[in-house]
Chains A and B, each alone.
Chain A
Amino acid sequence: MVHTPGVSDDRQANPLVETKLHIPSPRRNLVTRPRLQVRLAGAADAKLILVSAPAGFGKTTLVTSWLSTVAGDGAAVAWVSLDERDNDPALFWPYVLAALESAVPGLGANARALLDTAGAPADAVLATLVNELHGVNRDVFVVLDDFHVIDHHDVQEGLTYLLDHLPERAHLVLTSRADPPLPLPRLRVRGELLEIRAADLRFTNDEAAAYLNGAMGLALTAADIATLEARTEGWIAALQLAALSMQGREDVADFIAGFAGDDRFIVDYLAGEVLQRQPESVRRFLLQTSVLDRLQGSLCDAVTGTTGGKAALDALNRENLFVIPLDDRREWYRYHHLFADVLRARLLDEDPHAPAELHRRAADWFAGHGDPSSAIRHALAAGDVDRAADVAEMGLPELRRSREDATMRAWVQLIPEDVVRLRPVLAIGFVGALMSTGALDRVDDYLRGAEQWLALTPTARDAAGMIVVDDAQLRTLPGAIEMYRAALALMAGDIVCTVDHARRVLTVAADDDDMGRAAAYALLGLAAWSEGDLDSAFADYTDSIARMRRAGHIADILGCSIAMADIRVAQGRLRDAQRLYEQGLQLAADYQAGPLRGTADMYVGLAEILRERDDREAAAEQLQRAQELELFGTRQYPYRSRAVRAGLQLAAGDTAGCLELLEEAEQVYDTDFSPAVRPIGARRARAYVLQGDVNAARAWVRERNLSTDDELRYVTEFEHITLAIVRINDAPGERDLQQVGAMLDRLLASAEAGGRGSSVIEILAVQALAFDARGDTPRALDALRRALTLAEPEGYVQVFDSLGPRLSALREALVTGSARPHPKQQQGLVDPLSERELDVMRLLRSDLSGPDIARELMVSLNTMRTHTKNIYTKLGVNNRREAVRRAEELGL
């Protein structure tokens, strides 16, 4: 809510993403290479297919033509074209997951949802991905093209993990100019590596002949071909260039002789030949646009200062002049990397100043076309750091709105610190990103710096060289600074300081600084909630939402709705909470700009309320809806959805399944700064108790260092109630029960004073258990009656059911009006009858036959007989009639 790193809400419709995931179509004029296809036919047995060779060896071409055949066999292909920018795990993995999604719809959805959770460990994301890959029953090839641009240690480590855990039908395909630092020897030994290297890729004499005379339509003699093959050493890029230079040439033999005998760097030489044969306008176009990583008509026009860029690109594509289409619409292209480098070297040689100017034009185009990231890179390439910083500053509000935190972090890396220090708006804009990476030193540096700038008079600011390009943002700076100071205090767990700074936001921020005020109210709400002041918290969140609406900033409203509904639930107002979730869903439905983040959380919230009311089927339905939208969950979604599912398992009597889900929930636990009022550990302890594993529950108590004498606070209330449940079920002595009873009295008083209705109900129910354990049935029933009375209007059910069979027995007793004594209180019995044995005993008193009783209890006849035998032993009797009489004597 305060700050949510991770997701970019406008994942769709981003041309960059689309071009990166585009599977290149197989080239025209292709030479079939059966010898390589045969080797690649073994790919289905390999985990890693590595195509490792220098630039221009036809790696990508080989992989695309091979994969076009396997795709026909029903295999799925996920493709990522990598570039230098992707050398960051925060960008790399989303691309891989997006590629998988486009290859197999739905694949990687869980991993993606996890990835969007800030702080989710990469291992968990990849483990989830591996699980999902296991569910795919066809071959999946994940292609990482140009992997040599990636040298980030974390990415390599992640890939190693992936390789170690890939299911049989998932395969990684890397093309690279350098061997990747993956455990290749190990894979080789296990026969899990399929390698295609430079020696394999070089064109043989036959292939060269097929290409030159076949595909390219040249009529070369065998001797010419042999000469070319020898001179190029089968280097495909060189052969391609040679073919292009020879097309339509009369003096082919002379041409071949001309370069066969010397030592010139062949690609450079041949590219020169090709360029020379182009009209001057095309030559200029090629050189000038070589500064671009991606080519598009109007972009090329902007860079060259002419028109006709689109036509020029289409012509280059038709003539096979080293442009590669990046989409199916023939809008975006790129040059073949090797050719681009040759062009750039020539451009630089012809006019050392030209590249800077061309990059500057490219920067302007990208800045004007909503791609500030590319604009910044080109501005930096032009050596214009100030322009880059200007673009970044202007791009901040949009980036914040769309929450592209990984992009923001990349900008922080790109723009030098001393440039940022002169720009308070930019500095404060970067603070959010720096906070999410934990670079708190720089956060402090930038905050102080900005405070110092603001303390100066306008004249002094100018004199000292302060730069602000966006005055609108400058006005919001004082509020923003206090806001970040408040957030820092919150991260440090200092509630007093948080409130202090948040209040100051309300003082210093302009009245129309709706976003600043919205954030401050949200922080105040958070602080009040953490202190257990639920009414104030609710009011603060209400104010926060009102401000967000005024600012037209709908994206964060649902985050507040979650908090407000949580508060209503804590207050025991389930229907009000339900209404908040429903309003949230209405808001999401009315939202025009695409799915609203937090929508999935609304369904989870409804599911939780339905679970409490024991409408399990409807709860499962809501969870299903949530899952369909899980990409639009908040940071809390992964754990909250699992926790609700765990609760449903518990309700269904599956404690093992419940515990499994709780463990998952713990791994992805992130409350997004909300107070952890129902921690997973305590929920687990309760499940252990139900499972009969008191040891595990006791271990949790020790680990949390909980005691019945603790000072009570709202944030630990749930844990202390859990402590009472554990102690009551842990063979308590009279003294234990006294201590638990005293704590429960204090808990109840505190919950009643704080208006926490849900807690009051639960504490009363636990009190009933405590009294019951002490043999004080009247007071037990009294407490339970109070709890049930409070619970009835809102429909609470599970709060009672989840406390175990003994509480159910007490409820039954309330209904039938006669209390069955606690097993411990069965006077005169050394070894009291168990719950189940009491059930059997009850039926033994009826007229039912043995098999009928077994049927009634839904157990086998054998089990029933075992129970009967145990009952006889415990009661010291030999037959049914004696047992019935003895039970009556004992009041069982």
Chain B
Amino acid sequence: MCAHHIGSYVAFVQYEIRVKGHLDSRWAAWFDGLSLTRADDGTTVIRGPIVDQAALHGLLQKLRDIGVPLIALTQLRPEGE
């Protein structure tokens, strides 16, 4: 997304986090602009580039703090691979 604007030094990695329940799209800003997709199985997928492990843990902490149950965390392959 915006990774190439910041510079090639920063190696963003795409992550996908699946949580239980449908999170309204208004939470997108809270999660720093990551995309929220609501699935038919009653889960929400939060997807987007995450700068490093610290940011990933920060994100997980935000989810923990609003009490959303975590189901799965996946690192996506970089595009083109």
Q: Which of A's residues lie within 8 Å of B, judged by CB?
A: 54-57, 148, 177-178, 235, 237, 262-269, 337-338, 341-342, 344-346, 348-349, 352
Contacts and interface: CB of A to CB of B under 8 A. Distances in A.
B9 interface: no
Nearest to B62: A341
B30 A349 contact: yes
Nearest to A267: B67
A148 B30 CA distance: 20
B68 interface: yes
Contacts of A341: 30, 65-66
A264 B21 contact: yes
B29 A55 contact: no
Contacts of A266: 21
B22 A345 contact: no
B41 to A, nearest CB: 8
Interface in B2-59: 21-24, 26-30, 38, 42-44
Interface of B: 21-24, 26-30, 38, 42-44, 64-69
A264 B66 contact: no
B21 A349 contact: no
Contact of A338 (B22, B26, B67): B67
B30 A265 contact: no
A264 B23 CA distance: 6
A345 B38 CA distance: 18
A273 to B, nearest CB: 13
Given A56-B67, A341-B66, A342-B66, A265 B29 contact: no
29 contacts: A54-B67, A54-B69, A55-B64, A55-B65, A56-B67, A57-B67, A148-B64, A177-B64, A237-B67, A263-B21, A264-B24, A265-B22, A265-B24, A265-B27, A265-B68, A268-B66, A337-B65, A338-B65, A338-B66, A338-B67, A342-B66, A345-B26, A345-B27, A345-B30, A345-B66, A346-B26, A348-B30, A349-B28, A352-B29
Contacts of A263: 21-22, 38, 42-43
Nearest to B63: A54
A265 B65 contact: no
A178 B57 CA distance: 13
Contact of A268 (B27, B28, B29): B27
A152 to B, nearest CB: 15
A265 B21 contact: yes
A308 to B, nearest CB: 28
Given A55-B65, A338-B66, A345 B21 contact: no
Contacts of B26: 345-346, 349
A70 to B, nearest CB: 28
B18 to A, nearest CB: 13
What secondary structure prevails in chain A residues at the interface with B?
A: helix
A337 B62 CA distance: 12
A-B pairs, top 10 by smallest CB distance, nearest first, are A263-B42, A349-B26, A345-B30, A265-B21, A55-B67, A54-B67, A348-B29, A263-B22, A264-B22, A265-B23
A277 B28 CA distance: 24
B66 A55 contact: yes
A194 B40 CA distance: 40
Nearest to B21: A265
A338 B64 CA distance: 10
A151 to B, nearest CB: 10
Nearest to A349: B26
Nearest to A178: B64
A285 to B, nearest CB: 19
B22 A262 contact: yes
Contacts of B30: 341, 344-345, 348-349
Nearest to A265: B21
A148 to B, nearest CB: 8
A842 to B, nearest CB: 82
Contacts of A267: 66-67
Contacts of A177: 64-65
Contacts of A54: 64, 67, 69
Contacts of A262: 22
Given A54-B69, A265-B21, 16 more contacts: A54-B64, A57-B67, A148-B64, A178-B64, A263-B21, A265-B22, A265-B23, A265-B44, A268-B23, A268-B27, A341-B65, A342-B66, A345-B29, A345-B30, A345-B66, A349-B27
Contacts of B22: 262-265
Nearest to B31: A345
B60 to A, nearest CB: 10
Contacts of B64: 54-55, 148, 177-178
Contacts of A349: 26-30
A75 B25 CA distance: 49
Nearest to A268: B24
Nearest to A177: B64
Contacts of A264: 21-22, 24
Contacts of B69: 54
Contacts of B43: 263
B2 to A, nearest CB: 16
A235 B23 CA distance: 17
Contacts of B24: 264-265, 268-269
